[in-house]
Amino acid sequence: MTTTSQQNLAPSEQAQGFLSRDEHHLFIDGEKVPATSGKTMTTLNPSTGEVLARLAAGDQSDVDRAVLAARKAFKGQWSTWTPYERQALLMRVAQVLDERFEELVHIEAMDMGAPVSRLRNTKATLMKMLSFFASQAMSITGETLMNGLPGDVTTMTLKAPVGVVGGIIPWNGPLNGQFWIVGAVLASGCTAVLKPASEASLSVLRVAEILHEAGVPAGVINVVTGSGKEAGHALAAHPDVDRIAFTGSTQTGRSIIQASTANIKKLQLELGGKSADIVCADADLEKAVPGAAMGVFANSGQICFAGTRVLVQRSIVDEFTERLLAYMETLRVGRSLDAATTLGPVISQSQLDTVLSYIDIGQNEGAELLCGGQRLEGELGSGYFMQPSVFGGVTNEMRIAREEIFGPVLSIMPFDDVDEAIAIANDSEYGLGGAVWSQSLSTALRVVQGVHTGTMWVNCYGYIDPLVGFSGTKLSGYGYKGTAAHMDTYLYTKSVYMQL
Ligand code: NAD
């Protein structure tokens, strides 16, 4: 690992204009409004530890206001938009975001710490998502069904938007992540109140303004910033919210399930993970080593489906480890606005403390720290930077193999045969992602079929396409993202019996 040069890095003029506001208000009914209580909170730049912006700290009364606006919009003119109009809107949104993406990249980089190089690469994914949702706006269909009823009863199903959606968003990638909700809302005719994470709300606020400028009617997309305990809980419990789309930790997912029971909300929950990345002896290591490494270190390990348990067949553990440690030398840690940076900071001091505590836990459990493990000092000392870290000799009983660390920590775990690898992979309460690297198609398919997880990759890691989708199982949550199945959860089905 090396660090990148630390010259003074400035955001683009447009991003600077947005960031220089005294306070970032809530976005309700097409207007920027302060929190009813007048309370504010600060958000920090994780690359420097400095205050980046002051945001409105919304609470129950602000969520009430936003839900009211969303309900009014749901029942209003928006409900008369045709599929053609909703598709045209999504295409316009795609065009505007294409033009404004660099500004959003800078805001997101400074707010949550992902390097600009990584964020720029996500533009193609965002464009695909918008294109996908534009196509879905035109693809909502019910069915005519045969029946065994007497007489001339005609039967069919109709699809209709569920209503007001509460979108609760984590800090690890809000710029693109919000579009799993926004895209489906615009395609289906629902409306939404978004509650971004307090650590990284700015790209969600900025996008809401841009969407409004691009023609999204007032009240269709609202944003209430604030803490999870106040604003998040108020949204999850709100009696006039019909559906919650939540991405975040399993623990918070449980609170949301409990809060949602009063009005039996529909839920889509994308939760934590502890994915296994299985490298077989016949794998092409030229590809498997960087693939497995970036399956963990991308976004500084703050990806739910990071393949943090790297299971390596015992006969190649030494060679794999040697190549991995050589690859680690190519990673460049630095501030998010530096174009040469490949790994940015983690999101906050408290996240850094948590990740570093797992370095101690792993060593105390008997794992061997092969590289990394330290906070970075010197020029990067004021930010939340740490060395990307690799543990060797990890067993699946260790806490570092069982608990989600959500930071740049990779564990190498040896296995003897494929059945053992599948058993280790399945010995986890999570079931989000996973991969197998092998040149044998039958080995790869055996692993794909044997591992109990929502998404599997073969000889690659982390590809996501909305046409294919992904999901979790076990404690990683439920509710498919992508494909028509995603849209289905923003709709309800009405059965119709017509006596003619
Ligand atoms: P988190 O659960 O702490 O917070 C997520 C969101 O929930 C934030 O907006 C937060 O303010 C809000 N929140 C917190 N408490 C709440 C409550 N009681 N009621 C309602 N809302 C509440 O998660 P995080 O720390 O922001 O993100 C990291 C976690 O998210 C990791 O566990 C990671 O695996 C998971 N994640 C999962 C996916 C996925 O697709 N499965 C994607 C990204 C992140």
| Structural domain contains residue 355 | yes
| Structural domain contains residue 84 | yes
Q: Is 310 found in the same domain as 211?
A: no
Ligand 1 within 6 A of CB of 248: yes
304 is catalytic: yes
Ligand 1 within 6 A of CB of 462: no
Ligand 1 within 6 A of CB of 232: yes
CA of 128 to the centre of ligand 1 (A): 24
Pocket test for ligand 1, best of 194, 235, 249 (most atoms within 8 A of CB): 249
pLDDT at 170 over 90: yes
Ligand 1 atom at shortest distance from the alpha carbon of 273: 34
Phi/psi for 215 (5° steps) reads 115, 5
| Structural domain contains residue 154 | yes
pLDDT value at position 2?
A: 84
Tokens of 286: 């030229």
Ligand 1 atom at shortest distance from the alpha carbon of 235: 20
Number of domains into which the chain is organized: 2
Ligand 1 within 6 A of CB of 275: no
Ligand 1 within 6 A of CB of 171: yes
Q: Which domain holds residue 388?
A: 276-465
Pocket test for ligand 1, best of 168, 296, 300, 355 (most atoms within 8 A of CB): 168
| Structural domain contains residue 144 | yes
| Structural domain contains residue 217 | yes
Residue 124 pairs in a beta bridge with none
pLDDT 10s digits, 70-94: 999 999 999 999 999 999 999 999 9
| Structural domain contains residue 4 | no
pLDDT 10s digits, 341-364: 999 999 999 999 999 999 999 999
Q: Is 368 found in the same domain as 349?
A: yes
pLDDT 10s digits, 18-77: 999 999 999 999 999 999 999 999 999 999 999 999 999 999 999 999 999 999 999 999
pLDDT 10s digits, 291-325: 999 999 999 999 999 999 999 999 999 999 999 99
Ligand 1 within 6 A of CB of 274: no
Q: Is 177 found in the same domain as 295?
A: no
Phi/psi for 203 (5° steps) reads -70, -30
Check 304, 319, 365, 371 and give the catalytic one: 304
pLDDT value at position 10?
A: 84
CA of 321 to the centre of ligand 1 (A): 33
* Contact of 276 with 309, CB cutoff 8 Å: yes
101, 140, 326, 489 from 118: Cα distances, Å? 13, 34, 22, 30
pLDDT at 8 over 70: no
Ligand 1 within 6 A of CB of 224: no
Q: Is 233 found in the same domain as 156?
A: yes
CA of 187 to the centre of ligand 1 (A): 25
Provide CB contacts within 8 A for 171, sequence distance 6+: 112, 196, 197, 199, 200, 347
Q: How many Cα atoms sit within 13 Å of 479 on the Cβ side? A: 20
Pocket test for ligand 1, best of 43, 227, 261, 304 (most atoms within 8 A of CB): 304
Provide CB contacts within 8 A for 34, sequence distance 6+: 23, 25, 26, 56
pLDDT at 121 over 60: yes
pLDDT value at position 151?
A: 87
Q: Is 486 found in the same domain as 387?
A: no
pLDDT 10s digits, 368-402: 999 999 999 999 999 999 999 999 999 999 999 99
DSSP assignment, residue 18?
A: H
Q: Is 77 found in the same domain as 182?
A: yes
Q: Is 435 found in the same domain as 373?
A: yes
Amino acid at 110: M
Ligand 1 within 6 A of CB of 233: yes
CA of 272 to the centre of ligand 1 (A): 9
CATH of the domain at 391: 3.40.309.10
CA of 496 to the centre of ligand 1 (A): 39
Range 207-212, long-range pairs (CB < 8 A, 24+ positions) = 207/97, 207/104, 207/175, 207/178, 207/182, 208/27, 209/27, 209/32, 210/96, 210/97, 210/100, 211/93, 211/182, 212/27, 212/30
Q: Is 106 found in the same domain as 28?
A: yes
Check 270, 377, 379, 397 and give the catalytic one: 270
pLDDT 10s digits, 226-245: 999 999 999 999 999 999 99
DSSP assignment, residue 165?
A: E
Q: Is 254 found in the same domain as 370?
A: no
Mean pLDDT, residues 147-158 taken together: 95
Ligand 1 within 6 A of CB of 230: no
| Structural domain contains residue 472 | no
Provide CB contacts within 8 A for 495, sequence distance 6+: 155, 156, 157
Kindly report the protein residue whose alpha carbon is nearest to atom 23 of ligand 1.
248
| Structural domain contains residue 470 | no
Rounded to two decimals, what is the model's pTM?
0.96
* Contact of 232 with 249, CB cutoff 8 Å: no
* Contact of 479 with 271, CB cutoff 8 Å: no
Q: Is 249 found in the same domain as 180?
A: yes
Q: Is 416 found in the same domain as 315?
A: yes
Ligand 1 within 6 A of CB of 168: yes
Q: Is 453 found in the same domain as 311?
A: yes
